[in-house]
Chain A
Amino acid sequence: MPSTPLRIDSPDPGTLHLSLPPRLDIATTGDAWRRASAALDRPDIRTLRVAATDLENIDGAGIGLLVHLRDLSQARGIAFELAALPGRFQPLLDAFPPGSLPPPLKSAEPPGFLEQIGRSGAGLGRDLRDLLGFTGELATAIGRSLLHPREIRWSETWSTVERAGVNAFPIIALVGFLIGFILAFQSAVPMQQFGAEIFVADLVALSLLRELGPLMTAIVLAGRSGSAFAAEIGTMKVKEELDALNTMGIRPLRFLVVPRALAAIIVTPILAAFTSFFGLIGGLVVMLSLGFPLVTYVNQVRGALSPEDFPSGLAKALVFGLLVAGIGCLRGLQTGTGASAVGESTTRAVVAGILLIILSDGLFSVVFYSLGI
């Protein structure tokens, strides 16, 4: 839009004269601001005279320029005169007398480096304690719910079973198949050197049922459902829905966490069984291509497994499921305020979930070994 710009002249060296354009609004103020600032940038100016003779229209941005010029003059000891400002605009300027904009209050200040280290160390300890406490609470809540099955929100439980379990089936099948396939393929080559290809079946069966089946299932669960639990409950926290539950006397632990944990406990062993099953099929494909018939593979697998391998894998899966669901819900409940809070809880749920799975897997190894399983 063509519009008259700000006019600047200097009748004598110590005086700066600004004539405001007819329109001083959001579209024209940027240009006027820059030019006025540049003109004022001379050390010899003693007087700033602003004439609003032509001014017909001004808005918040234009008023901003006037406030800026006035306050800048004051700070530099320049005499400021504003002439011929139409009376109807005076109240707009009067809303901002000199010194009316106090310096910003301090918002929460980021802590220093050392303090951050200390805080994160203390945070880790607090986190572990919270986790232990929460696990205990959750276990009692689940136990109590199982004694009073009527109190369990079965509809929520089943819908979680569907989301966390049924819907995870395709990815579980794919992951299982590929793990079995890769395992067999990678081990077949070195085994071949010893003429021991047939033992690839033992290797695949044992590692899948005892170790990889439950482990991979739990990791997929942490990525899919642990994060979802944290996000769902975290969003409720941000929207004060958890406060609403609490004031109704309903404990979020029973209302939100128990159904999810139960669903995870139901779903994980089943999914782990399927992971192992599809893994065995993956192994079978490799064995068939090496020229072994189906019967041989099946017999070899059956011979490799002892009766407790399958249940011990399922027991692991059950504990993993509980951990993933528990940590997901805990992170959700711990969600802070602000826009990034839910995202943070989600990330932390997945990271902590995977960490816990690996740690407890190590524990299982020790326990199973000492029990001779």
Chain B
Amino acid sequence: MPSPLIRVEHLTAGWNGRVILDDLSFEVFEGEVFVILGGSGCGKSTLLKQMIGLYTPMSGHVRIDGDDIVTARGADRLRILRKIGVTYQSGALFGSMTLLENIGLPLREFTDLPEEARILVGRMKLKLVGLAGYENHFPSEISGGMQKRAAIARAMALDPRILFLDEPSAGLDPVTSAGLDALIRQLAETLGVTFVIVTHELPSIFAIADRVIMLDARTRTIVATGPPAELRDRAEDPWVRRFFNREADNG
């Protein structure tokens, strides 16, 4: 068994005093593709933002590679953040910069790569997400799905050990989406990159996920954990089985 790279310990979090996630504990292993599932509004994005230390939880800890991101400050926090790359549900590209400049920003801030190297690495990242040629476009000049992919390229700029992706394939056509799945698997297998992904796309989940956790808005906890095929066939919770078999909840 590989060692856990991320440990979430008794995490309780929410907004404005309202608890959305109640006492969650789980681990993500090195090189694993870990998927967070759940109905819309159940707190998946909230959990992701807690895991990257964007907000302080009400209680509990998130350890990344052994360091607690909740309590880390200053240089320690920066060192943890260097290990992760994030894409947000809305893309969050910097609108005043071209795509190449968006990707070049972390390279410029955090590496000693010469400029021609930064440009080449940036262009290679864009190529990986199928955006070769769009280097000099501004985010407002490309489509929503393209922005999403550019955001993934930016998250990969520093080759982080962990990539957090919030609904990376939402808004992508099936072919592009499958290409993205292949890229995720390739990075996980060849470079040992760990992925924490929020997604609803069932085909994608079965294609990429090593393990999934399923959140439930009613209990505010994890209702199921395990490999997706196992949950589809053997989950005890009928709601989980319905989710995997795409049955409507008429109850």
Taking a contact as CB atoms closer than 8 A, the residue among A91, A101, A107 that contacts B138 in the complex is A107
Contact A107 B98 (CB under 8 A): yes
B111 contact set on A, CB distance < 8 A: 26-27, 29-30, 61
Taking a contact as CB atoms closer than 8 A, the residue among A60, A100, A338 that contacts B125 in the complex is A60
Contact A34 B120 (CB under 8 A): no
How far does the Cβ of A1 sit from chain B's closest Cβ, in whole Å? 12
A95 contact set on B, CB distance < 8 A: 127-128
* Complex interface bits, A107-118 against B, C-beta within 8 A gives 1, otherwise 0: 110000000000
* Complex interface bits, A15-52 against B, C-beta within 8 A gives 1, otherwise 0: 00000000001110111011001000000000000000
Contact A101 B123 (CB under 8 A): yes
B158 contact set on A, CB distance < 8 A: 26
A338 contact set on B, CB distance < 8 A: 95-96, 138-140
Contact B133 A102 (CB under 8 A): yes
How far does the Cβ of B71 sit from chain A's closest Cβ, in whole Å? 25
Contact A104 B135 (CB under 8 A): yes
- A-B pair number, CB within 8 angstroms: 94
How far does the Cβ of B92 sit from chain A's closest Cβ, in whole Å? 11
Contact B137 A107 (CB under 8 A): yes
A339 contact set on B, CB distance < 8 A: 94-96, 140
Given A29-B117, A338-B96 in contact, is the A104-B190 Cβ separation under 8 Å? no
How many residues on the A side are at the interface (Cβ–Cβ under 8 A)?
A: 36
A106 contact set on B, CB distance < 8 A: 136
Residue of B nearest to A31 (CB): B112
B186 contact set on A, CB distance < 8 A: 91-92
Residue of B nearest to A27 (CB): B111
8 A Cβ contacts from B127-173 to A: 127-128, 132-141, 156, 158-159
Contact B114 A107 (CB under 8 A): no
Counting CB contacts under 8 A, is B124 at the interface?
A: yes
Counting CB contacts under 8 A, is A182 at the interface?
A: no
Contact B117 A64 (CB under 8 A): yes
Residue of A nearest to B159 (CB): A59
Counting CB contacts under 8 A, is B5 at the interface?
A: no
Give the residue among A31, A33, A59 with the most B Cβ atoms within 10 A: A59
Taking a contact as CB atoms closer than 8 A, the residue among A25, A30, A37 that contacts B112 in the complex is A30
Counting CB contacts under 8 A, is A340 at the interface?
A: yes
* Complex interface bits, B85-123 against A, C-beta within 8 A gives 1, otherwise 0: 000000000111010100000000001111011001101
Residue of A nearest to B157 (CB): A60
Counting CB contacts under 8 A, is B191 at the interface?
A: yes
B113 contact set on A, CB distance < 8 A: 26, 29-30, 33, 61
Taking a contact as CB atoms closer than 8 A, the residue among B117, B134, B137, B191 that contacts A30 in the complex is B117
Contact A59 B191 (CB under 8 A): yes
By a beta-carbon cutoff of 8 Å, the part of chain A in contact with chain B is 25-27, 29-31, 33-34, 37, 59-61, 63-65, 67-68, 88-89, 91-92, 95-96, 100-108, 337-340
Extra A-B contacts (11), CB below 8 Å, given A37-B114, A88-B189? A29-B117, A30-B111, A30-B112, A65-B117, A92-B186, A100-B127, A101-B120, A105-B136, A107-B141, A338-B138, A340-B95
For the complex of A and B, list the 5 residue pairs with the smallest distance between their C-beta atoms, beginning with the closest.
Answer: A339-B95, A30-B112, A59-B159, A104-B135, A337-B140
Can you give 16 contacting A-B residue pairs, CB < 8 Å?
A: A25-B159, A30-B113, A31-B112, A60-B125, A60-B159, A91-B190, A92-B186, A92-B190, A101-B120, A102-B132, A108-B141, A338-B96, A338-B140, A339-B96, A340-B95, A340-B96
